[in-house]
Amino acid sequence: MMKSQVALLYVLIIMSKGSAQSMKPRRSVFFSDVNLKLFKEPDFDGLSSVLVREDIGQLFIGARGKIITLSLDDITKKTKEINWIVTSKEKALCQMKGKSIEVCDNYITLMHTLNDGRILVCGTKAFDPTCTHLMFEEGNVTMEDSFENGRGKVPFDPNENFASLVNGNTLYTAGTINFLGTVKSFQRHGRNSLMTEQIWSWLKGPNMISMKFAEISKHSYNNEDDSVFLFLTEIGIENQRNHLRLSRVARVCKSDMGGLRTLQRKWTSFLKAYLDCPFGDEGSTSLVQDVFFLQDEKNVSDSIFYATFTLSPKPSSTCSQSAVCAYKLSDIQQVFRGNFMTETDSGPWVRFTGSYTSPYPRTCINDEMRAKGVRTSRDVLDSDLMFVKNHPLMEQVVTPITGKPLLVGSAAQFSRIVVDKVTSLDGQQHNVMFISNNSGWVQKAVWSGDDGGRIIEELQLSQDPQPIHFLQLSSRSGQLYSTTRTAVVQLSVRDCSRYRSCADCLIARDPYCGWDRLTGLCAAAAGASNLSMIQNLIDGDVGTCPSSHSFPTVSKQITDIQLTLDVAQFLPCTPDTNLPISWSFSGSILKPSPRHTLLSQGLVLTPSLTDQGLYTCETVEVVKGRKHRKAVIQYHVKISKEEIVGGVNWFQAIVIYILASVCVLCVMLIIYMYWKQKPQNHVGSTSVSYAGTEQPAQKTVLCNCFSGPDTKKTTPTRVEEKAKSTI
């Protein structure tokens, strides 16, 4: 009996932990079970930049004091190592300036491919940023002997965030431009260099996140100039008394040449707007962490920015929440064509109600402006440029295409995101998101307007909990590259081997996978035809599966078990997915009762003589209203009646039972008090709630401040009404 009570105590502890989790990804795959390739060396650390070169099949890794190239097909094959270290004199000088020995090294923080195939490379070089070029000739990578000043291109401090991109041979950067790290700027380098005005209304304590280029002229009816978008967070200028940090998207025009007299060598097209991702409790704001631009080849205005966000909670909050929001380029353009904000004498910014007839800079220069003689920014009137200088902020808010996040998660925070456009066998396109978190996991997710977001699976790519700093995707080869500070991981996004039956393959609705009729395996659907492969991403209908390849039976997994009358026993059920389970007894669905306690990981059975028979544990998955069941394990239970002689044994049994029950209650109370004081943070499985579907009520939530994606929250005081976006 004592053994049974110990087993029951263990179950209750599991139950107390499991009940705190919200909805999970369909499947969690731990590091040992992920089919991946790993590159790691003893002296390899400080990884600070990554570049994928599909044209030459190389992955460039910038780290501390070196640049390493790996084969894109197999990163375990190192093809080149170039050392770029600082001298002892340079390191000593850096330390004399008050910097630690660790940061007084050369961290390769920038790598971009130029039009001529060379790679622009910049390093921090012991707080003296320096740039050079890499060349790839006849299969060999070499570094040029000439070097140039890199100040303003990369920060002095390797730990500072910055953003950059190259368009053609033109470099754009946003970050710190001085040694002390007190001045930050958004710049274009080269012959016609420009930068932001050093006034707080343009940038106030910015943290640069990501930079993207949109080739708007390609599909514009009036040949409007291309745009560069900068995503950042900064202290809001809307209310000077409230030092609230907000997310922003800023925009400049590619052909901006600065002003002729006003705003000389400064952006004349710089505008910014509040970027909203509504989730969390009242008083919290969402801060953008990373952005991926999925460009639409047919119409650039339909392109989508996918962004990860974390909460900036109130000081008293212990919540850790994240979300993914998506924004249509045309919606962002519309915001920048709207009304300006203006600063009042008392401080707060309000809507500008005066007259402003010039279309610049609300739209970049187009054919209509050119017809009126405004061919470059230097043709814009000084009065208009002075207005631009004093009114960088737009009134309208950039809202997500769904009006809310695609998905919201708690526990480990989302960090990086990449998105792949996948064509299914029926010719439809599906955008698959890969989202990393700060505990070394990556989630594969799909969002559709029909059934909202769903997490297909999550993969542990780092054996130890640590942040993933970079995610890079090679759509051509279907490979995902993930990096921490000390290691590089490669895995195929088209790996379908974890779906071991036709039913499991179809119900998962993984756009990469389908059931191969010939081999009888779940395999990559890329390049296959409907004749040889089965795929159903709409509702996962398994009716087309061959009968011999449906869910496998569990006849070989029937476990005979002998139980004692009226003694509690735990029957475990551990499926290979995160789906809810259901129990049946002799063919009938088992419901909770005083003798049957149903838990997320098993069944506690306190049997009577009528409880002998076959118990079956099944996973239950509902797709488009259709319920799918898969047997996990079966128990054939037999009951034995324990003979007890004399009243003393009965008395002892009752005393033991009472004492054990008291112990269980005490332990549960301790667990509850501990949980109340210290919220859980599961690194093995990031809990996620789907923003597009209705969720069942949860008795216990992981984070008490969580109120879901539809919850109203405080927005900056300048916003009188949020703009409604069109799905």
Q: In the structure, what pLDDT confidence band is assigned to residue 663 with cuts at 50, 70 and 90? A: low
Stronger pLDDT, 82 or 674, i.e. the higher one: 82
Q: In the structure, what pLDDT confidence band is assigned to residue 691 with cuts at 50, 70 and 90? A: very low
Query: CATH number, domain at 542?
Result: 3.30.1680.10
Q: How far apart are CA 204 and CA 221, in angstroms?
A: 36
Q: Could you say which of 591, 622, 643 is where a domain stops?
A: 643
Task: Taking each helix axis as running N to C, give the angle between helix 2-18 and helix 646-677, from 0 to 180 degrees, rounded to the nearest 10.
Answer: 20
Q: How far apart are CA 707 and CA 490, in angstroms?
A: 36
**Proportion of the chain above pLDDT 90, given as a percent:** 69
Confidence (pLDDT) at 281: 80
Q: In the structure, what pLDDT confidence band is assigned to residue 558 with cuts at 50, 70 and 90? A: confident
600 domain-assigned: yes
- Give the helix ranges, DSSP H, for 54-130: 88-96
Q: In the structure, what pLDDT confidence band is assigned to residue 448 with cuts at 50, 70 and 90? A: confident
358 domain-assigned: no
468 domain-assigned: yes
Q: Do 547 and 426 share a structural domain?
A: yes
pLDDT tens-place string over residues 38-60: 999 988 899 999 999 999 999 99
231 domain-assigned: no
Average pLDDT over residues 583-593: 93
pLDDT tens-place string over residues 499-538: 999 999 999 999 999 999 999 999 999 988 888 999 999 8
Q: In the structure, what pLDDT confidence band is assigned to residue 22 with cuts at 50, 70 and 90? A: very low
> Which of 496, 580, 506 lies closest to 539, judged by CA?
506
Burial of 214 (0-12, 13-18, 19+ CB in 10 A): buried
3-state SS of 611-633? HCEEEEEEEEEEECCEEEEEEEE
Give yes or no for residue 168 having a pLDDT over 70: yes
Among 13-22, 286-295, 327-336, the minimum mean pLDDT is found in 13-22
Average per-residue pLDDT for the chain: 85
Question: How is 304-321 classified by DSSP, letter by letter?
Answer: EEEEEEEEE--TT----E
Confidence (pLDDT) at 476: 86
Give yes or no for residue 27 having a pLDDT over 50: yes
Confidence (pLDDT) at 587: 87
Q: Note down the domain range covering 544.
A: 411-497+501-551
Q: Do 562 and 493 share a structural domain?
A: no
Residues belonging to the chain? 727
CB 94 within 8 A of CB 85: no
Give yes or no for residue 167 having a pLDDT over 80: yes
Q: In the structure, what pLDDT confidence band is assigned to residue 314 with cuts at 50, 70 and 90? A: low
Give yes or no for residue 2 having a pLDDT over 90: no
Number of helices (H) and strands (E), helices first, in the chain? 7, 45
What residue type is assigned to position 103 of the chain?
A: V
Give yes or no for residue 488 having a pLDDT over 90: yes
Confidence (pLDDT) at 679: 38
Most confident of 138-142, 251-255, 317-321, 715-719: 251-255
Confidence (pLDDT) at 672: 56
Q: Is the peptide bond before 361 cis (omega within 30 degrees of 0)?
A: yes
Query: CATH number, domain at 621?
Result: 2.60.40.10
What residue type is assigned to position 705 of the chain?
A: C
Give yes or no for residue 622 having a pLDDT over 60: yes
Q: Do 565 and 467 share a structural domain?
A: no
54 domain-assigned: no
What SS3 state is found at 452?
strand
Q: Do 561 and 517 share a structural domain?
A: no
Q: Do 583 and 539 share a structural domain?
A: no
Contacts of 418 (CB under 8 A, 6+ apart): 292, 433, 434, 471, 472, 473, 480
Burial of 502 (0-12, 13-18, 19+ CB in 10 A): buried
465 domain-assigned: yes
Q: Do 637 and 520 share a structural domain?
A: no
Q: Could you say which of 585, 612, 643 is where a domain stops?
A: 643
14 domain-assigned: yes
Give yes or no for residue 69 having a pLDDT over 90: yes
> Which pair of structure tokens corresponds to residue 293?
């631009």
Q: In the structure, what pLDDT confidence band is assigned to residue 453 with cuts at 50, 70 and 90? A: confident
Confidence (pLDDT) at 641: 74
Could you give phi then psi for residue 669, rounded to 5 degrees? -65, -40
Confidence (pLDDT) at 242: 77
Give the number of C-alpha atoms closer than 13 A to the C-alpha of residue 650, restricted to the C-beta side.
5
Q: Do 511 and 426 share a structural domain?
A: yes
Q: Could you say which of 600, 628, 643 is where a domain stops?
A: 643
Most confident of 304-318, 453-467, 630-644: 453-467
Confidence (pLDDT) at 530: 84
Q: Do 581 and 505 share a structural domain?
A: no
Stronger pLDDT, 670 or 562, i.e. the higher one: 562
CB 359 within 8 A of CB 368: yes
Q: How far apart are CA 569 and CA 25, in angstroms?
A: 30
Average pLDDT over residues 418-433: 93
> Which of 578, 659, 398, 497 lies closest to 21, judged by CA?
578
Give yes or no for residue 365 having a pLDDT over 90: yes
pLDDT tens-place string over residues 234-279: 999 987 767 899 999 999 999 999 999 999 999 999 999 999 999 9
> Which pair of structure tokens corresponds to residue 382?
């000084």
3-state SS of 383-438? HHHHHHHHCCEEEEEECCCCCCCCEEEECCCEEEEEEEEEECCCCCEEEEEEEEEC
Confidence (pLDDT) at 7: 40
Q: Do 544 and 471 share a structural domain?
A: yes
Give yes or no for residue 209 having a pLDDT over 90: yes
Confidence (pLDDT) at 352: 94
Give yes or no for residue 94 having a pLDDT over 80: yes
pLDDT tens-place string over residues 170-200: 999 999 999 999 999 999 999 999 999 999 9
Q: Do 582 and 612 share a structural domain?
A: yes
711 domain-assigned: no
Strand order, beta sheet including 393-398: 207-214, 227-235, 245-253, 271-275, 393-398
Q: Do 541 and 420 share a structural domain?
A: yes
Give yes or no for residue 700 having a pLDDT over 50: no
Confidence (pLDDT) at 642: 60
Q: Do 631 and 513 share a structural domain?
A: no
Q: How far apart are CA 363 and CA 340, in angstroms?
A: 13
Could you give phi then psi for residue 4, rounded to 5 degrees? -65, -40
Give yes or no for residue 339 having a pLDDT over 50: yes
Give yes or no for residue 549 having a pLDDT over 70: no
What total number of domains does the chain contain? 2
Stronger pLDDT, 116 or 649, i.e. the higher one: 116
> Which pair of structure tokens corresponds to residue 284?
């919290």
Contacts of 697 (CB under 8 A, 6+ apart): none
Give yes or no for residue 133 having a pLDDT over 50: yes
